[in-house]
């Protein structure tokens, strides 16, 4: 055992001395931390945007009012709810949670607690943006004249989508 101990220590120190084993520079870890933080921020911003779009969609299409029409209204609301957006959003937040799990502030909490905390944050900020500013309404006006870049025209015009024919008043 003593021979083994000396061998392992000697091997390690020998490799260090021969420059066959070297430390990664501090900058490497700082850069990695920055990239993780940036990626996390992008994911969170996209998630907030999607929740914002969900709330805007319910408001501008009037679908949110269906909830006050009893069980049949709720059933129609659930049918018209933009579920794909919500699914994508939840998947993004799961990815964010997985990304942050290497940090102590994340893993010291049970997974669901941390996930629901960032879900609540994304929902709250998304709702706040829609209800306390007119940014979505302005974006919709720009979308009406195809003035938004890339897929944003479709996002905003899609938020005002009509219900399927079976739900329209004849």
Partner 1 sequence: MEALTLTDEEAARLVQLGEPEMFGVLVERYEEKLLRYGRRFLSKSEDIEDIVQDVFMSAYENIQDFDTHARFSPWIYRIAHNAFVNKLGKSVRDRLRLIDLDTLLSHPAYEDPDIERREWKEVGKMIDKALAEVAPKYREVLVLYYLEELPYKEIADVLSVPQSTVGVRLKRGKEALKRAYEQLERDHGTH
Q: Is 15 in the site for partner 1 (CB under 8 A)?
A: yes
Evaluate whether 161 touches 80 at the Cβ level (below 8 Å).
no
At 170, list the tokens: 């004849």
The answer to whether 5 contacts partner 1 (rule: CB under 8 A) is yes
Q: Does 72 bind partner 1 (CB under 8 A)?
A: no
> What DSSP state is assigned to residue 170?
-
How many helices (H) does the chain have, and how many strands (E)? Answer: 8, 0
* Two structure tokens written together for 114: 């941390």
For partner 1, give the closer residue by CB, 8 or 38: 8
Say how many residues touch partner 1, by CB under 8 A. 30
- b/e for 111-133, b at 16 or more Cβ within 10 A? eeebbeebbeebbebbbebbeee
Nearer residue to partner 1 within complex by CB, 17 or 168: 17
Which position among 65, 101, 138, 141 is part of the footprint of partner 1 (CB under 8 A)?
101
Task: Please report whether residue 12 would count as binding partner 1 according to CB under 8 A.
Answer: yes
* 68 contacts partner 1 (rule: CB under 8 A): no
- Annotate each residue in 104-143 with x if it binds partner 1 (CB under 8 A) or - if it does not, as one string: x--xxxxxxx------------------------------
* Closest CB to partner 1 among residues 42, 111: 111
Residues 21-60 binding partner 1 (CB under 8 A) are 21-26, 28-29
- Angle at the Cα of 155 (from 150 to 156), degrees rounded to 5? 110
In 10 A of CB 155, how many CB atoms?
19
Helix (H, G, I), strand (E, B) or coil at 142: helix
Q: Where along the sequence are the contacts to partner 1 (CB under 8 A)? A: 1, 4-5, 7-9, 11-13, 15-17, 21-26, 28-29, 101-102, 104, 107-113
């Amino acid at each position: 055992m003593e021979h083994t101990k000396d061998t392992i220590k000697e091997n390690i120190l020998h490799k260090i001395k021969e420059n066959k084993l070297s430390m990664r520079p501090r900058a490497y870890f700082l850069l990695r931390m920055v990239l993780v933080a940036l990626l996390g921020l992008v994911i969170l911003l996209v998630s907030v945007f999607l929740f914002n779009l969900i709330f805007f969609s319910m408001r501008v299409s009037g679908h949110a009012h269906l909830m006050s029409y009893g069980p049949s209204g709720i059933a129609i609301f659930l049918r018209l709810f933009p579920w794909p957006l919500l699914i994508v959003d939840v998947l993004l937040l799961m990815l964010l949670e997985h990304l942050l799990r290497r940090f102590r502030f994340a893993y010291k909490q049970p997974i669901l607690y941390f996930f629901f905390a960032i879900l609540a944050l994304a929902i709250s900020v998304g709702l706040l943006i829609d209800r306390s500013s007119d940014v979505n309404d302005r974006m919709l006006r720009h979308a009406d004249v195809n003035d938004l870049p890339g897929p944003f025209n479709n996002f905003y015009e899609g938020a005002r989508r009509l219900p399927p024919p079976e739900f329209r008043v004849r």
